[in-house]
Copies of this chain bind each other. A is one copy, B any other.
Amino acid sequence: MDTDCPPAERRWPEPRPAGYDPGAFTPFAVTVDIVLMTVVQRQLKLLLIRRGRPPYEGAWALPGGFVKPDEDLATAAARELLEETGISTTTGSLRQIGSYGDPARDPRMRVVTVAYGAVAVRLEEAPRGGSDAAEAELVPVAEVQSDRLPLAFDHRRIVDDAVDRLRADLETTGVAHSFCPPEFTVRELREVHEAILQTELDSGNFQRKVTGREGYITPTERRAPTGERGGRPATLWRAGRPEDAE
């Protein structure tokens, strides 16, 4: 969201270096917005918050808010996510998607927002934060991208960019197991890929590819419980190399 920050009186720090004209620039509001994504039940979903005040009152929007005076952008994103949803992330796991600064993007004032993408491990239900977020919900990305669920501001475009970025990262960096619990089966990992890429993947080829990739995942001694109608029990795997204690 682009609002909802406690009042803060602040002026530019003194002293200013000589030759600097304080009227030489336009003050902007700078916010961060977070696209928190998770895969649940083979569906890619993202966390939205229902706005409690104008503009776009009652509409769904991304969690976010104003950057504080002495706060890094990524830190602000992690803080806002925690405040509005109760989800804690490390700033390292946040990926900057881009910045959005159309002069008309917020009808109230000139706001530039920096969007961050984040990944959560299988949230089953949307957590409610302690902040002023009226309502939070996990919605399928497909609902947003099909325009069945309109978003406030230019958040639709931010979501598109975040999903594009996620798909690109999926193939290069091994971001997929960030969607999985600490121990997971190859099937779970494959279903994450399938949900994000919107494709069906050959289970055999995926198995080889993912187990063959050096240092990507390592097997444990444990097995996953078998399914209801039988089937060979799957090996449980962990992210990374065995020696890399995490």
Binds B, one of A15-23, A180-188, A217-225, A231-239: A15-23
A3-B20, A7-B24, A10-B26 given; A112·B73 CB < 8 A: yes
Knowing A73-B101, A101-B30, A103-B69, say if A25 contacts B5 (CB, 8 Å).
Answer: yes
Number of A residues whose C-beta is below 8 Å from B?
49
Enumerate chain B residues within 8 angstroms of A31, measured Cβ to Cβ: 25
CB proximity of A180 to chain B, nearest CB, Å? 27
Partner of A28, one of B7, B24, B29, B96: B29
Is A9 engaged at the interface, CB distance under 8 Å to the other chain? Answer: yes
Q: Compute how far the CA of A29 lies from the CA of B16 in the bound complex, rounded to whole angstroms.
A: 14
> What is the oligomeric copy number?
2
B99 near A17 with CB under 8 A, answer no
In the complex, whether A245 has a CB less than 8 A from a CB of chain B is no
- Chain B nearest CB, measured from A170 CB (Å): 15
Q: Closest residue to A102 on the B side, CB-wise? A: B72
Q: Are A103 and B71 in contact (CB under 8 A)?
A: yes
Digitize A107-122: 1 where CB-to-B-CB distance is under 8 Å, 0 elsewhere.
1111010100000000
Q: How far is the CA of A30 from the CA of B29 in the complex (A)?
A: 9
Task: Choose from B72, B98, B108 the contact partner of A101 (Cβ within 8 Å).
Answer: B72
Which of A16, A25, A71, A98 has the most B CB atoms < 10 Å from its CB?
A25
Measured in the bound complex, the distance between the Cα atoms of B101 and A66 in whole Å is 13
A212 at interface by CB-CB < 8 Å? no
A13 at the interface (CB under 8 A from B): yes
CB-nearest residue of chain B relative to A16? B108
Across the interface, which residues of B come within 8 angstroms of A4, CB to CB? 24
Name the B residues within 8 Å of A71 (CB-CB): 103
Given A8-B24, A12-B108, 10 new contacts (CB under 8 A) = A5-B24, A12-B109, A18-B54, A26-B29, A26-B67, A27-B28, A28-B67, A67-B112, A71-B103, A99-B114
